[in-house]
Amino acid sequence: MSKLLNWVDARFPLTKLWNEHVGQYYTPKNFNFWYYFGSLALFILVSQILTGIWLTMSYNPTEEGAFASVEHIMRDVEWGWLIRYLHAVGASLFFVVIYLHMFRGLLYGSYKAPRELVWLLGMFIYVTLMAEAFFGYLLPWGQMSFWGAKVITELFGAIPVIGEDLVVWIRGDYGVSGATLNRFFALHVIAVPLIIVGLVVLHIMALHEVGSNNPDGIEIKKVKDNNGNPVDGVPFHPYFTVKDFFGLMVFLTIFSLIVFFFPEMGGYFLEHSNFDAANFLVTPEHIAPVWYFTPFYAMLRAVPHEFLGVVTMGAGVAIFFVLPWLDRCPVRSVRYRSNFYKWLLVVFAVTFVGLGVLGTLPVDPMLTVLARIFTAVYFLFFLLMPIYTSFEKTKPVPERVTD
Amino acid sequence: MSKETVDTQRRKFLAVTTVAASSIGAAFIAVPFVKSWNPSAKAVAAGAPVLADISQLKAGEQMIVEWRRRPVWIVKRTPEAVESLTKVLGELRDPDSQKSDQPEYVKNTHRSLKPEILVLVGICTHLGCSPKYKPEVGSVNDDWQGGFFCPCHGSAFDMAGRVFKGVPAPTNMQVPPYAFLDDTKILIGVNPDDDLSEWKA
Amino acid sequence: MMQRLLFLVLACGVGLVSASGHQFALDHAPINLRDKASLQRGAQLFANYCQGCHSLQFMRYRRLAEDSGMVDESGNVLTTLVKDNLMFSVDKIGDTMLTAMQADDAKKWFASIPPPDLSLTARKNGADWLYTYLRAFYKDETRPWGVNNAVFDNVAMPHVLVGLQGVQMPVYKENEHGKKVIEKLELQTPGLLPPEEYNKRVADLVNFLVYVSEPGQLTRQQIGVWVVMFLIVMSLLAYFLKRAYWKDVH
């Protein structure tokens, strides 16, 4: 075995890669609960790809056959129902994990120098993931699939001058049709997954280049032992392989509870109206995007102007990109920042969730007022950040990690 | 025993147990992915037995029906054709059908339930082409007593689908399971001792 | 403390309120997919009263027979039994449960709204909605079929089960906004069955439709028990493994 390893190592940096990124990648020893979500996201990506490939074996990407092919998978294909549920529930859980993963970044300042690129790459992954979910959602060709795609592609029409032609070009037809379905299928199955995988590789490489942050926000590389290893770090393998394995088992338990007992999740993971085949003559009572898009959907509806609403919605996502440069506080972790900022983070979280809830509800005058307030708070959190973070009363940051 | 060795032993034990349990789990999760490749209920339904009506089949004629995506031939052999089956015994590679694929109940001299009716899967046992029906004596070569000739690589079979010596095909042609519902109806895909009540109108 | 508060806030936000669009209160449908006799009765009701117009295009007879106990001791489907009771045309046991009504005719007879396929109606509308709907028809002379429905206003469907249920009349009241709404329905002319018996039959039919909407439900839950138990054991094992390695850290 070691002979084989030597043969490979002479031709490919296998052991070198293993040591650099796993065997001797020193990771802060004070990782807490918030640090499980990166590895979980990676697991879900693999799961989605595997279950996705298997679904493609039986799925029919045509207007006439798509809806029936999904039911064919659910009923006729052996274990097809399980593969379908794993994929649908996996998609929603992917976003749960990603939002928690991103929130960890907010908590501990993981986006600050020298990790701005890690954050940017992560944001690109997020946006690409949203596109992937959007394309994928059309594929079952249910009522919500169709009308959701129609509404969202329609938004591009708000762009001045080129808008109308752009919408037709995106759809490949005068309305959302089989042409749209076919191309969304191609994008969802191969184009976007390739981009995501590529970005994830870059994301991890960028992280490993500077080393991981930690809940105390301090640089563990500052204090090293006689061997040149950070005293507050432990090698990723075996310490974090076993820890992340534990995290994975707990996650899989929750994943399985949902897949086997609540796959529809009350209509939020698998929407009720999507059990009706697409019918472009009948609009469903209530069109809403899937829950993970609703925070931004609420912003869109809050603004009483078509084009500006679209801009606001886009800005809601885009503003995350510039976070590393908005936050002027020299302290990374919320543990050592002002109480004011701690509460602000709570407020931001409440705002984001609140917008999400509002996005699932039908339009209502009172709720629109609330959505506008939330949208304003959301943007002010970011836009005023350069000001209020410059004057923060921070606590002294320790030299070594705590607990 | 020092504390370190105890810890190492414990670690090793737990690691081994975990890996073992995970392998079991992995095997279980692999099952749905592997099994999903089996024919779906739709394919199984499409593979249901097929009824062939031979009331209009004249002596010497061949009809073709589809069963499980394969051509199945039904040939009404003439009395001369049935007689020829014994004439060619010496030229056959496997005259007793020891190596070929057919139900037990057709392991006889005429490879069929009734001597005059032949049922075969119309696929050459060489590389899968569909041979041509050549019933006329002398139509393929001077000694030809009637049978099937495959144009792809020259394999030849007699009027019971048995393969001749010296041709590429290794075995006799396959006989599918079949049963007579009555004198004019053959059901391909079932055996005579199966429960046929649902097809008897 | 801060972490827990944050997480609690996020978790609470996930408990969502959904606005109900129904004015007429829905009754709770007694669903029990383990009751095979009920599934069989429901299938029979469907074949006799509904399949003339409605298809179940994703449900195969064979699957229905296997799952509802129409099999012999060895587990072979009792094909003749199924054919005699549930299949009234030339369908084969492996076929899906289609309707004899032609699509063109359906469009003509039902003013361009053909009777929809019902394979997934229970997932789309819910069991409670279906159960209430099938018991909420009432007499309405202004409608083409002479009936309306308290749950589905101006429905295009006739009350196929009127012979069994009888004829109901609406009792109106004024709601908070001063609008006239149906408070309840009262039986004016009795049908063949007393109300409790009719309710049971409808429950069978809805039970059947819930089954049809996802035939693998029971299997899914049964397997799920084992999977979750296995993963709990794995989680415990993984926890001890993790602890064994992390004991010498800090």
**Closest residue by Cα to residue C173 from C184, C164, C186, C162:** C184
pLDDT the model gives residue C31: 96
- What average pLDDT score do residues B22-36 get? 97
Dist CA A266 CA B116 (whole Å):
65
Mutate to test the interface with C, among A64, A83, A275, A341 (most CBs of C within 10 A): A275
Cβ distance B133 to B148 under 8 Å?
A: yes
Question: Is residue B150 predicted with pLDDT exceeding 70?
Answer: yes
> Does B18 contact C at CB distance below 8 Å?
yes
Cβ distance A92 to A291 under 8 Å?
A: yes
Which backbone phi and psi does A130 adopt, to 5 degrees? -65, -40
ipTM: 0.92
pLDDT the model gives residue C131: 97
Q: Which chains touch A (3 or more CB pairs under 8 A)?
A: B, C
Those of residues 69-128 in C touching chain B at CB distance below 8 A are 76, 79-80, 83, 92-95
Measure Cα distances from A361 to A149, A230, A297, A367 in Å: 19, 50, 11, 9
Cβ distance C238 to A249 under 8 Å?
A: yes
Gap from B4 CA to chain C (nearest CA, Å): 10
Question: Is residue B168 predicted with pLDDT exceeding 90?
Answer: yes
The confidence band for B2, taking pLDDT boundaries of 50, 70 and 90, is low
Mutate to test the interface with C, among B14, B50, B67, B187 (most CBs of C within 10 A): B14
> Does C144 contact B at CB distance below 8 Å?
no
pLDDT the model gives residue B175: 96
Q: What percent of chain B has pLDDT over 70?
A: 97
Measure Cα distances from A37 to A32, A42, A43, A247, A352 in Å: 11, 9, 10, 9, 19
| More confident site: B149 or C75 | B149
pLDDT the model gives residue C232: 98
- What average pLDDT score do residues B87-98 get? 91
B2: three-class secondary structure by DSSP: coil
CB atoms within 10 A of CB C100: 12
As given in the structure block, the two tokens for residue C160 are 């196929």
| For helices A192-210 and A37-56, angle between their N-to-C axes, nearest 10 degrees | 160
> Does A237 contact C at CB distance below 8 Å?
no
Q: Which chains touch B (3 or more CB pairs under 8 A)?
A: A, C
Least confident range from A254-258, B145-149, C11-15: namely: C11-15
Cβ distance B122 to B163 under 8 Å?
A: no
> Does A76 contact B at CB distance below 8 Å?
yes
Place of tokens 């692999």: B30
Tell the burial category of B156 from Cβ atoms under 10 Å away from its Cβ (0-12, 13-18, 19+). buried
The confidence band for B177, taking pLDDT boundaries of 50, 70 and 90, is very high
Per-position b or e across A272-291, b if 16+ CB within 10 A of its CB: bbbbbbbeeeeebebbbbbb
**Closest residue by Cα to residue A105 from A320, A380, A399, A336:** A320
Residue of chain A nearest B36, judged by CA positions? A78
Report the predicted TM-score, pTM, of the whole model to 2 decimal places: 0.91
Dist CA C128 CA C107 (whole Å):
29
User: Which residues, at least 6 apart from A307, have a Cβ–Cβ distance to it below 8 Å?
Assistant: A158, A159, A160
- Local structure of residue A9 (DSSP, 8 states): H
Strand-by-strand arrangement of the B147-149 sheet: B132-134, B147-149, B156-158
A260–C216 CB contact, under 8 Å: no
pLDDT the model gives residue C4: 58
> Does B197 contact C at CB distance below 8 Å?
yes
pLDDT tens for chain A, 403 residues: list them: 899 999 999 999 999 999 999 999 999 999 999 999 999 999 999 999 999 999 999 999 999 999 999 999 999 999 999 999 999 999 999 999 999 999 999 999 999 999 999 999 999 999 999 999 999 999 999 999 999 999 999 988 988 899 999 999 999 999 999 999 999 999 999 999 999 999 999 999 999 999 999 999 999 999 999 999 999 999 999 999 999 999 999 999 999 999 999 999 999 999 999 999 999 888 988 888 999 999 999 999 999 998 899 999 999 999 999 999 999 999 999 999 999 999 999 999 999 999 999 999 999 999 999 999 999 999 999 999 999 999 999 999 999 998 7
Gap from A357 CA to chain C (nearest CA, Å): 7
CB atoms within 10 A of CB A113: 11
As given in the structure block, the two tokens for residue C16 are 């969502």
Tell the burial category of B26 from Cβ atoms under 10 Å away from its Cβ (0-12, 13-18, 19+). exposed
CB atoms within 10 A of CB B67: 20
Dist CA B145 CA B155 (whole Å):
15
The confidence band for C1, taking pLDDT boundaries of 50, 70 and 90, is low
pLDDT the model gives residue A1: 86
Per the prediction, chain C carries an average pLDDT of 88
From the list C79, C237, C245, which residue is nearest B198 (CB)? Answer: C79
pLDDT the model gives residue B199: 79
Across the strands, what pairs with C171?
C184
pLDDT digits (tens, 9 = 90+) for C30-83: 999 999 999 999 999 999 999 999 999 999 999 999 999 999 888 888 888 898
Cβ distance A46 to A40 under 8 Å?
A: no
pLDDT the model gives residue A21: 95
Dist CA B44 CA B34 (whole Å):
17
**Closest residue by Cα to residue C152 from C173, C180, C182, C112:** C182
Bridging pattern class, strands B178-182 and B156-158:
unpaired
